[in-house]
């Protein structure tokens, strides 16, 4: 019997499915902010951003699909590492960073439209937001399936409208001068900015989901599942490239016209108001609210189910309530505060994720536990030390080559790779 293959509409559908899984409010706010900050160095910064915000997430999807799940991929280091790393990934894309960000981002978009200002308003908003998200998270399929069909197209249409507005009626004649962080090495800073999307961490969970979707279409051949996943990844990457390029240009124009914005949400709000007045601002805020709420529901459900499986004594309802409450408290530090908090956390764990993905694509002779353990272990020591709020330790960790630009983990990773190869030869 001829094995089932993916072509045409089915393959295209998988590509759009993968794009929709990644595409959330966070993907909307970081490219405009990068554009606003990078100014005339915008496109060089964009290239770096594309590496970490497009290339790595898609590579993560493929790596997990090839390994048949994140646990098996991370298990190449050790079973204990697999469990600890998976927990860290879920906490990062869940209650520690991503879930609180959904409320703070949507509030940042709504705040200019509210008659009052202050902490009390934000606290009230987050309380209502997470109470509603918790209730819906008990049966998320009833919301996510409906909104998913209209949300992504609506957001894409809005981006195209804003982009067209910038081309036809630009708010500024060109890009502004780059901020200090983008003056010398904009591409490197762009790579670090791409960490903020957290899509590489999310991609480590999405690979298995896409593989299951392919199997649901009747494909059983492992090789075709892998090829279908790769093709879906390339389609999603192409879409992200176009969308991110438009958002980055929008941010560059907005940054020149409205300097001083602290987040991408503020940047988009200012531009929408300038181009379309209060109507544009209301539309943008409404779409962000829907996007953030839908993402929040999905994340609470996903993380709640994972921890319920890990610790079944507490029912799913209890885990969902706990994550909703803890996320509400963290969300009240504000979007800018959450983004500042996320930088050291992501800088600490991203190197391990990058190496886990990169090593999985090496030839079979390098698929050895010693190579994975030494490479990731030594890199993690440097990245964690550099990210800790201990000035002396951080300075010491960053004295390594490339440490000053956020890549001090590269040399330890290479050293670990060499040690791992030697250990393999010694064992043989």
Looking at the fold, whether 126 and 169 belong to one and the same domain comes out as yes
Q: Which two tokens stand for residue 337?
A: 């505060």
pLDDT at residue number 105: 87
Spatial CB neighbours of 242, under 8 Å, sequence gap ≥ 6: none
Q: Which domain holds residue 402?
A: 364-428
Domain boundary among 312, 327, 361: 361
Domain boundary among 346, 361, 376: 361
Looking at the fold, whether 134 and 252 belong to one and the same domain comes out as yes
Q: What is the distance between the alpha carbons of residues 282 and 288, in angstroms, rounded to a whole number? A: 10
Domain boundary among 306, 328, 361: 361
**Per-residue pLDDT for the chain (428 aa), expressed as one digit of tens each?**
444 666 677 778 788 878 877 877 778 889 999 999 999 999 999 999 999 999 999 999 888 888 878 888 999 999 999 999 988 888 888 888 888 988 888 888 888 887 766 678 888 999 999 999 999 888 765 655 555 566 677 778 888 888 988 888 888 888 999 999 999 899 999 999 998 888 888 888 777 677 777 777 777 777 788 788 888 888 889 999 999 999 999 999 999 998 888 888 888 888 888 888 888 888 888 878 887 888 888 888 888 888 998 899 999 999 999 999 999 998 888 777 887 878 888 888 999 999 999 999 999 889 999 999 999 999 999 999 998 878 888 888 889 988 888 899 999 999 999 999 999 888 76
Looking at the fold, whether 338 and 398 belong to one and the same domain comes out as no
Torsion sign, CA atoms 259, 265, 268, 273: negative
Number of domains in the chain: 2
Is residue 84 assigned to a domain? yes
Is residue 67 assigned to a domain? yes
Looking at the fold, whether 139 and 44 belong to one and the same domain comes out as yes
pLDDT in tens, 255-294: 999 888 888 888 888 888 888 888 888 888 887 888 788 8
Spatial CB neighbours of 248, under 8 Å, sequence gap ≥ 6: 31, 32, 34, 35, 42, 43, 46, 49
Looking at the fold, whether 113 and 223 belong to one and the same domain comes out as yes
pLDDT at residue number 118: 67
pLDDT in tens, 364-391: 889 999 999 999 999 999 999 998 878 8
CB atoms closer than 10 angstroms to residue 234: 14
List of long-range contacts for 182-185, beta carbons under 8 Å, 24+ apart: 182/37, 182/38, 182/39, 182/41, 182/45, 183/41, 185/405
């Amino acid at each position: 019997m001829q094995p089932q293959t993916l072509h045409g509409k089915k393959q295209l559908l998988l590509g759009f499915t993968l794009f929709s899984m990644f595409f959330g409010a966070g993907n909307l706010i970081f490219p405009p902010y990068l554009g606003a900050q990078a100014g005339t160095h915008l496109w060089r910064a964009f290239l770096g951003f594309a590496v970490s915000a497009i290339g790595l997430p898609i590579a993560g999807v493929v790596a997990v699909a090839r390994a048949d799940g994140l646990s098996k991929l991370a298990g190449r280091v050790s079973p204990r590492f697999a469990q600890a790393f998976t927990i860290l990934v879920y906490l990062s894309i869940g209650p520690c960073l991503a879930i609180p960000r959904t409320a703070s981002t949507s509030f940042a978009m709504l705040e200019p439209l509210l008659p009052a200002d202050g902490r009390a308003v934000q606290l009230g908003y987050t309380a209502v937001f997470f109470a509603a998200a918790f209730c819906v998270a008990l049966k998320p399929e009833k919301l996510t399936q409906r909104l998913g069909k209209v949300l992504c197209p609506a957001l894409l249409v809005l981006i195209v409208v804003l982009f067209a507005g910038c081309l036809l009626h630009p708010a500024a004649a060109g890009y502004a001068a780059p901020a200090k962080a983008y003056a010398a090495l904009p591409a490197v800073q762009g790579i670090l900015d791409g960490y903020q999307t957290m899509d590489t961490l999310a991609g480590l969970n999405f690979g298995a989901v896409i593989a299951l979707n392919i199997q649901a279409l009747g494909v059983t051949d492992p090789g075709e599942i892998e090829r279908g996943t790769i093709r879906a990844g390339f389609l999603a990457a192409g879409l992200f490239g176009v969308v991110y390029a438009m958002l980055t240009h929008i941010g560059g124009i907005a940054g020149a016209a409205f300097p001083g914005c602290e987040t991408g949400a503020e940047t988009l709000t200012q531009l929408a108001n300038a181009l379309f007045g209060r109507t544009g601002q209301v539309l943008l805020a409404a779409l962000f609210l829907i996007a953030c709420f839908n993402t929040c529901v999905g994340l609470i459900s996903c993380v709640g189910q994972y921890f319920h499986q890990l610790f079944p004594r507490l029912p799913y309802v209890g885990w969902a309530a706990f994550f909703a409450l803890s996320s509400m408290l963290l969300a009240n530090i504000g979007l800018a505060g959450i983004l500042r908090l996320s930088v050291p956390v992501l800088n600490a764990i991203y190197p391990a994720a990058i190496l886990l993905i990169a090593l999985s694509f090496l030839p079979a002779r390098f698929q050895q536990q010693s190579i994975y353990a030494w490479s990731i272990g030594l890199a993690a020591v440097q990245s964690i030390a550099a990210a800790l709020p201990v000035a002396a330790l951080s300075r010491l960790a960053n004295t390594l080559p490339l440490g000053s630009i956020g890549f001090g983990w590269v040399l330890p990773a290479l050293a670990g790779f060499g040690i791992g190869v030697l250990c393999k030869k010694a064992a043989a």
